[in-house]
Structure 1
């Protein structure tokens, strides 16, 4: 089953004190182009994510973004001993000076001390990014799975379209075979009439004229073009039945289809065959547009 190169998925997660949001999208590209926007302070995260994407995708311009936020209140309260000692010493000096000045101060309590800047500190529950990196990579697997499901779903729709277009090409090739049979009788009559006119009005060598007419017949023969078109149809059906990236091969095959259709039109010398050739070119062009979306 083929896959599309277009896709989108998003997801969220959290691990105190962090929360995050993923966004993964892709569009058509000749190769695999990975563009990641993730926090660079999480050691090894981008490398790990690139590895995961590289193993799962064959083609496409892929953009992955990670928005990470941190709750600074979700930490551990720690008493700063040196700051507390300094605060107590300052309070003692203030009380001594107040007494010397004959002033009476309201007694301080623990809450007053805790409110002083620097006496109590908040420390992160996890300053090591190794565990966070592993958590994020594991969480990303869910987003990637949804992304691949979307590309596969798009691929199934593409496969139906490409299969119908391949069948259209096959029907037109069969119509071309029929037109060639009709054209043969018309060309025979036309060539014989031309030969009679030439022999009647000129003294040209009959053998030379016969050779020229034979060359015309050879140049107008489309048997090889129709045979190659039939072979290309078989190749397209085989590729559409495969799993994995086949977009490049299909794109090359469309070039071959187009080349044979152009040659068929240039050799047709028949209204019906020309019409079939033009219809072939139209379907091939439509099919080639769809192939640009195949991974």
Structure 2
């Protein structure tokens, strides 16, 4: 199963106590790097949300935003004494160090996150509903990653088909390539006025053919294609495996190009590198 590292999900639900809204978005990242933006009332459940995320997502830079809008009405309001004391202690330190500070405005203190609370708000219920809604948002997010991942996998498979076709084409040209060695040697010998006997000619052809032998590179390319198709069927995070395999593909294509003395095979090697680079770009987005 192939998952993309880029996706977006949004979930919103209204309750008697208010409205919860969750957004999850992600982009490429070598490791898992989640960032949470939560309403102060929801901070106590952040670790549970992180754990739920880590169980299902392995790579990517994620940004999770949770908005909480308390239902309007005639709710009884109260003050979080601990929060207010913490804020005032900080303000007292500032006033002790800075001269001519203005008087503290009580209304500004009430606006500080977490100071003013709804006395009738069942915080445990809010937290429970948030955890449930986050699970739904995470499922939507993963479904989006899977859809995008399927598109990436199809694009990679299309390039793998291209590589298989090119490798088969090169194999078909190898006999002609050896025949070209023989003809080139004859022409050079004639131009130099040197007469080569049949045995000597064949020895030289064999030596040149050995230096330019690409059978091993072609076999490895076929092996890499098979391995890549196998990885795409695996579960879990496969992006790093594919990234390493792209390096192996490149190594064989480079060697193939360096050994080539035939224009058409050099052209095939260039086409291989183009397809490998296109795959590598797709792989960067896979978890």
TM-score bracket, normalised by the shorter chain, equals 0.7 to 0.9
State the shift of 1:291 in Å. Answer: 1.3
Matches within 5 A, 1:1-295: 1-71=1-71, 73-76=73-76, 124-126=119-121, 129-194=123-188, 200=194, 216-295=208-287
2:77·2:119 contact (CA, 8 Å) conserved in 1? no
2:45·2:127 contact (CA, 8 Å) conserved in 1? yes
Q: Which has the larger radius of gyration?
A: 1
Per the alignment, do residues 141 and 217 of structure 1 end up closer, same or farther by CA in structure 2, a change over 3 Å counting?
A: same
Equivalents in 2 of 1:286, 1:43: separation in Å?
43
Per the alignment, do residues 184 and 216 of structure 1 end up closer, same or farther by CA in structure 2, a change over 3 Å counting?
A: closer
User: What is the SS of the residue equivalent to 1:65?
Assistant: strand
| TM-score under structure 2 length normalisation | 0.77
Range with greater deviation from structure 2 (250-259 or 31-40): 31-40
For residues 15-51 of structure 1, give each alpha carbon's deviation from its aligned partner in whole angstroms, at most 9, with x where no partner exists.
Answer: 3333221111111111211111113443432111111
Equivalents in 1 of 2:16, 2:53: separation in Å?
26
Structure 2: gaps (5+ residues): 79-116
Equivalents in 1 of 2:211, 2:145: separation in Å?
46
Structure 1: gaps (5+ residues): 79-121
Cα RMSD for the two superposed structures: 2.8
1:43·1:130 contact (CA, 8 Å) conserved in 2? no
Range with greater deviation from structure 2 (17-26 or 267-276): 17-26
